[in-house]
């Protein structure tokens, strides 16, 4: 399959000879400061997988075009050169085959990292993802575990159209037995990847397509981010913005704009949906008394509804205003950029919601 590139001209990760990982840049160091290694989100995916392949010989990865091609998004560049065909498996174009092989490998002592190229294609292998993988440990009374990671490119904003742009974390959220991670920064990609691969339970790992070209500090050696631990990425006192994956930088941009108007917004990066760190959300709400949830799922059935429900059950007395959700519209994702921006959350939509809430 040809390389997939987005309209923002996503660059390719370059792997060194025989070694996975990316050509990491270095931020210029000021007086008295050490150089900071900068890495792209897509490079962090390859680096996170490579670190676990080096650490644990039971880890393997498989998927369409992940070997010599380095993945259609270049998120597995260099893995085949470093680890060889025994541990990096190119598969046929069959999502059912990929997850069937991964499940069998996990049940017999391996730790597979399986790639489903687009999250929309979960529909092609839904029986494995919803009915087999998450239930095996329970149905065998704990005698058989399924320690596998299902990686996938998720989300819209790049004009890929209705069948390649959906944000489907809510699909997985409806299935007991699956853990769900969705990082927003390169360092969190590496840290959450380590935790996901080491988990004895299946983890669905959503990599947002719109973040692949974004850059951030590289993860330090041995970096692991506990599954189910949210991060307060900006402190504030007037309103809490709860976000995930690509809506985190969007919420941060909205917070910057609101600050110019004297509104102090706290931004929480959930990082995971299962386990869901509601303790951090409720603690933030205790400081701000107002909540806006920013999600790319459709409003109908999106993960934000779960967060709002828990707040209503456990934090109602903390609220000084109604909970607001800024979510995608309940329509298929348009191909045209101008139409897609009318459907998914934007900085303008978030700032408008916050201003209305602070005036309540």
3-state secondary structure of 165: coil
Give the helix ranges, DSSP H, for 108-174: 126, 136-139, 169-173
Active site residue 95: yes
Q: Which residue among the candidates 82, 115, 164, 340 is catalytic per the annotation?
A: 164
Cα dihedral: 83, 20, 119, 329 (round 10): 170
3-state secondary structure of 333: coil
In sequence order, what are the residues at sequence separation of 6 or more whose Cβ sits closer than 8 angstroms to the Cβ of residue 25?
37, 38, 39, 215
Tokens 């509601």 sit on residue: 278
Please say whether the dihedral angle defined by the alpha carbons of residues 20, 116, 218 and 5, taken in this order, is positive or negative: positive
% helix, strand, coil for the chain, step of 5: 35, 20, 45
Q: Which residue among the candidates 43, 47, 95, 115 is catalytic per the annotation?
A: 95
Residues comprising the chain, all counted: 360
Active site residue 208: no
- Backbone torsion region of residue 356, taken as left when φ is above 0, otherwise alpha when ψ lies between -120 and 50, otherwise beta: alpha
Question: Which residues are marked as active site?
Answer: 95, 164
């Amino acid at each position: 399959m040809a390389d997939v590139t987005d309209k923002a001209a996503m660059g390719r990760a370059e792997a060194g000879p025989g070694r996975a990982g990316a050509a990491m840049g270095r931020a210029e160091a000021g007086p008295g400061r050490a150089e900071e290694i900068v890495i792209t989100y897509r490079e962090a995916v390859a680096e996170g997988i490579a670190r676990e392949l080096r650490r644990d010989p039971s880890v393997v990865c498989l998927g369409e075009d992940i070997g010599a091609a380095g993945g259609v998004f270049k998120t597995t560049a260099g893995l085949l050169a470093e680890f060889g065909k025994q541990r990096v498996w190119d598969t046929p174009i069959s999502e059912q085959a990929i997850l069937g092989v991964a499940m069998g490998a996990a049940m017999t002592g391996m730790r597979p990292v399986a790639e489903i190229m687009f999250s929309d294609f979960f529909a092609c292998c839904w029986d494995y993802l919803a009915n087999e993988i998450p239930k095996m440990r329970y149905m065998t009374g704990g005698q058989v575990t399924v320690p596998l990671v299902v990686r996938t490119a998720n989300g819209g904003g790049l004009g890929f159209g209705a069948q390649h742009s959906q944000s489907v974390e809510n699909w997985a959220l409806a299935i007991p037995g699956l853990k769900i991670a969705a990082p927003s920064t390169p360092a969190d990609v590496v840290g959450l990847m380590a935790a996901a691969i080491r988990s004895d339970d299946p983890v669905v790992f959503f990599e947002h397509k719109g973040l692949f070209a974004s850059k951030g500090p590289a993860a330090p050696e041995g970096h692991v981010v506990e599954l189910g631990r949210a991060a307060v990425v900006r402190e504030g006192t007037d309103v809490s913005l709860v976000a995930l994956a690509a809506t985190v930088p969007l919420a941060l941009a909205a917070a910057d704009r609101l600050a110019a108007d004297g509104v102090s917004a706290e931004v929480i990066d959930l990082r995971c949906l299962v386990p869901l760190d509601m303790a951090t959300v409720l603690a933030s709400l205790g400081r701000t008394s107002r909540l806006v949830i920013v999600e790319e799922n459709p409003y109908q059935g999106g993960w934000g509804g779960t967060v709002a429900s828990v707040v209503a059950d456990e934090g109602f007395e903390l609220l000084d205003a109604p909970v607001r959700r800024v979510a995608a519209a309940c329509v298929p994702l348009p191909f045209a950029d101008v139409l897609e921006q009318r459907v998914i959350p934007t900085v303008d939509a978030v700032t408008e919601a916050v201003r209305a809430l602070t005036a309540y």
